Amino acid sequence: MRVRFLCVLALASQALTAAPLKSAPIVVGEGPQPVAVKKLIFLDFYNEANDKNLQYIANSIGDAVHEAIKSKYRYDRIASALWKKYTAENKWQPRDFYDQKKIREMGKALGADGVIYGKYNTVEQRLELHGIIFSVIDGEVVEEQHASAPLSAEMFEKINEVSDNLAKKIKDLFVPSDRGALTRSLLFPGWGHYYKQRNGWGNFWAISGGTAIAFTATMGTMFVVMKNQYDTYNPQHYRNTSGGTGLYDANAAQAEFDRLEASANQFGQLALIGGAVTAGIWLGAMLHAYFIEPDMGNAAPPKQAQASPLQWQLGADHSTQPGMRCAISYTEKF
Residue 243: pLDDT band with limits 50, 70, 90: low
Residues 6+ apart with CB under 8 A from 59: 42, 44, 45, 80
Q: What percent of the chain has pLDDT over 70?
A: 74
| Per-residue model confidence (pLDDT) at position 52 | 86
pLDDT (average), residues 242-257: 76
| Angstrom distance (rounded) from CA 172 to CA 38 | 12
Strand partners, 237: 247
Mean per-residue pLDDT for 170-191?
82
pLDDT reading at 33 higher than 50? no
For 119, the enclosing helix (H) or strand (E) is: strand 114-122
To the question of pTM greater than 0.85 for the whole model, the response is no
Question: Residue 156 above 70 pLDDT?
Answer: yes
Cβ 106 vs Cβ 89: under 8 Å: no
Nearest to 59 by CA among 38, 40, 39, 45: 45
How far apart are alpha carbons 140 and 130 in whole angstroms? 16
For residue 26, report the phi and psi dihedrals to the nearest 5 degrees.
-90, 120
Q: Between these two residues, 232 and 92, which has the higher pLDDT value? A: 92
| pLDDT score for 318 | 54
Question: Mean pLDDT highest for which of 124-128, 186-190, 306-310?
Answer: 186-190
Per-chain mean pLDDT for the chain: 78
pLDDT value at 192 more than 80? yes
Classify 10 as helix, strand or coil: coil
- The kind and range of the H/E element at 139 are none
Distance, CA of 148 to CA of 158 (rounded, Å): 7
Rounded Cα–Cα distance for residues 96 and 89 (Å): 13
Between CA 290 and CA 41 the distance in angstroms is 29
Bridge pairing between strands 75-77 and 38-42: parallel
Pick the residue with more confidence: 209 or 296? 209
pLDDT at 118 > cutoff 80: yes
* Tens-digit pLDDT profile for residues 60-88: 888 888 888 888 777 889 999 999 999 99
Higher pLDDT, 119 or 170: 119
What is the DSSP annotation of 259-327? HHHHHHHHHHHHHHHHHHHHHHHHHHHHHHHHHSPPP-GGGSS--PPPPPSEEEEEE--S-SS-SEEEE
Measured over the CA atoms of residue 46, residue 48, residue 50 and residue 54, the dihedral's sign is negative
pLDDT tens string 2-32: 343 333 333 333 333 334 434 344 333 344 4
pLDDT in tens, 254-266: 888 889 899 999 9
